[in-house]
């Protein structure tokens, strides 16, 4: 197994290298939570190091229905999680126009909401340009944002009303790579804290037809790329 060690100094022989600090790049599978991946890596790290209290954490949550790059921090590198979380992210995926869901992805039932029969590819591409740059984004109600001590998605599943505060984000690149209505494929490069599902919501509102995200893959975090990640199934 290829584990990346970012430290250059000599590691004392009485301290296991995993405890000293490692990162592991993992390709999160579909339907797995980020915590599922952390749990599996923690079991592996404890077995490899013989340490029952070794720390493992991830640097940026991915929704269960998303796939792609997770940075796992092990041992002393858990202190650098905030540093890794601050890096820009790159995603590819698919939005579906003319329908929507409460969660703006496939976690909720699809509801037909608008007519796209007159929508053109140019309008879609122009829409992407409209959402590029610095802006304020309101998180989706089905998110991990805390409201009065509870996660927003918990309140949303209970059909409770809530008000979420918009936060500054930057969408550096928003490229439409395929238009095959009702589907459009995209590549997005964005700042920390950007919700791609919220972009689907906002595009649907802007075009007046509704939209949701049907697929999402995180391909890059800073200089770390999905091509260098290992599959969870390969962790023995």
Q: List the catalytic residues.
A: 63
CA distance linking residue 4 with residue 142, whole number of Å: 34
């Amino acid at each position: 197994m290829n584990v990346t060690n970012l430290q250059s100094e000599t590691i004392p022989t009485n301290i296991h290298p995993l405890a000293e600090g490692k990162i592991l790049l993992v390709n999160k599978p579909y339907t797995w939570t980020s915590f599922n991946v952390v749990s599996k890596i923690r079991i592996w790290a404890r077995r490899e190091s013989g340490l029952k209290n070794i720390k493992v954490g991830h640097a940026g949550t991915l929704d269960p229905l998303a796939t792609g790059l997770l940075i796992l921090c092990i041992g002393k590198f858990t202190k650098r999680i905030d540093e890794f979380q601050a890096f820009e992210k790159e995603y590819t995926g698919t939005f579906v126009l003319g329908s929507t869901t409460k969660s703006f992805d496939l976690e909720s039932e699809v509801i037909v909401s608008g007519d796209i029969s007159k929508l053109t590819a140019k309008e879609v591409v122009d829409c992407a340009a409209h959402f590029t740059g610095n802006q304020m984004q309101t998180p989706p109600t089905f998110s991990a944002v805390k409201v009065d001590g509870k996660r927003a998605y918990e309140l949303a599943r209970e059909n409770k009303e809530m008000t979420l505060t918009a936060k500054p984000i930057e969408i550096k690149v928003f490229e439409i790579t395929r238009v095959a209505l009702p589907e459009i494929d995209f590549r997005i490069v964005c700042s920390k804290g950007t919700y791609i599902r919220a972009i689907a919501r906002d595009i649907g509102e802007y075009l007046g037809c509704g939209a949701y995200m049907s697929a999402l893959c995180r391909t890059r975090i800073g200089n770390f790329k999905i091509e260098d990640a290992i599959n969870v199934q390969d962790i023995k």
